[in-house]
Amino acid sequence: METLVKPLTTLGKVSDLKSGIANFYDESSELWESMWGEHMHHGFYPKGAPVKSNQQAQIDMIEETLKVAGVTQAKKMVDVGCGIGGSSRYISRKFGCTANGITLSPKQAARANVLSKEQGLGDKLQFQVGDALAQPFEDGVFDLVWSMESGEHMPDKKKFVSELARVCAPGGTVIVVTWCHRVLGPGEAALREDEAALLDRINEAYYLPDWCSVADYQRLFEAQGLTDIQTRDWSQEVSPFWGAVIATALTSEGLAGLAKAGWTTIKGALVMPLMAEGFRRGLIKFNLISGRKPPQ
């Protein structure tokens, strides 16, 4: 299938990665919000758990992430790749903290500010256009550094983790939840050709650079001096997600929304089955990695 969709995923592709990412989310975020709500990330569906709504599964993803990272309080958080601010608003209500969020999408930043004001959090939350690889913040100002499904867009993973660690306050926590490829086995220098081809089609539609593994992230966290590093593979726990997204896209409302949103969003919908296939093959992994910045 990846061969069949290549002419479509490459059609109309913006060559500049940052511009492509901004345009993708400018175009698609309104449709996503109308269909799924304010949280623009996977849901958590543990095996054997009672049936729940997709929106509850997304909230459970936030809760499970905080639990694994050992976060029980926060005073000031940064939401790196904030979408329309769903994580920031949820965590602010939970802990009473302030939050700053950055995204490459002007429409996302504006919508995040509007929603926060409407929900009575306008005095505690602020969202702006910003680059995760050159964050517009001073060193060591956030005790919770949060990145929920934005790391896959980062072309320089080393710089990404370096910036997360830089803005983290001593004693604070850095959390990355992201798409990864599988950990390479002994003697493997790279993914197989068929695996790389599948990821290439996904990259073209979603404006993603090269992927890395959770083992790569762990090495980057260690290189920044972060401690108490935790990792999780939640690929099974998120496995129902893409089927649910595909089903939503195929409803009359979803199809009408895709047509209205435009070609970039339609390309994203076309590769949804490839995401599902990648998870099925064990190629795509949904990983968490967290660490603490040592106190001074």
pLDDT of residue 243: 85
Q: Which residues of the chain have pLDDT under 50?
A: 7-9
pLDDT of residue 296: 82
How many angstroms from the chain centroid is the CA of residue 140?
23
List the Cα angle 242/244/249 in 5-degree steps. 95
Q: Let me know: does 209 contact 20? Beta carbons within 8 Å.
A: no
pLDDT of residue 142: 98
Q: Which CATH class is domain 12-293?
A: alpha beta
pLDDT of residue 7: 45
Radius of gyration, alpha carbons of the chain: 18
Tell me whether strands 168-181 and 284-292 are parallel, antiparallel or unpaired. Answer: antiparallel
Q: Where are the beta strands (DSSP E) in the chain?
A: 76-80, 98-103, 125-129, 142-148, 168-181, 227-233, 284-292
**HSE (side-chain half, CA atoms, 13 Å) at 280:** 10
pLDDT of residue 112: 98
Distance CA 94, CA 136 (A): 25
DSSP for 108-159? HHHHHHHHHHHTT-TTTEEEEE-BTTB-SS-TT-EEEEEEES-GGG-S-HHH
Q: Let me know: does 106 contact 129? Beta carbons within 8 Å.
A: yes
- Residue 267: which residues within 8 A CB-CB, separation 6 or more? 8, 9, 11, 12, 204, 205
Q: What is the pTM of this model?
A: 0.94
pLDDT of residue 258: 84
pLDDT of residue 126: 98
pLDDT of residue 172: 98
Q: Let me know: does 132 contact 154? Beta carbons within 8 Å.
A: yes
Distance CA 68, CA 213 (A): 19
Domain ranges of the chain: 12-293
pLDDT of residue 13: 55
pLDDT of residue 270: 86
Sheet containing strand 142-148, strands side by side:
125-129, 98-103, 76-80, 142-148, 168-181, 284-292, 227-233
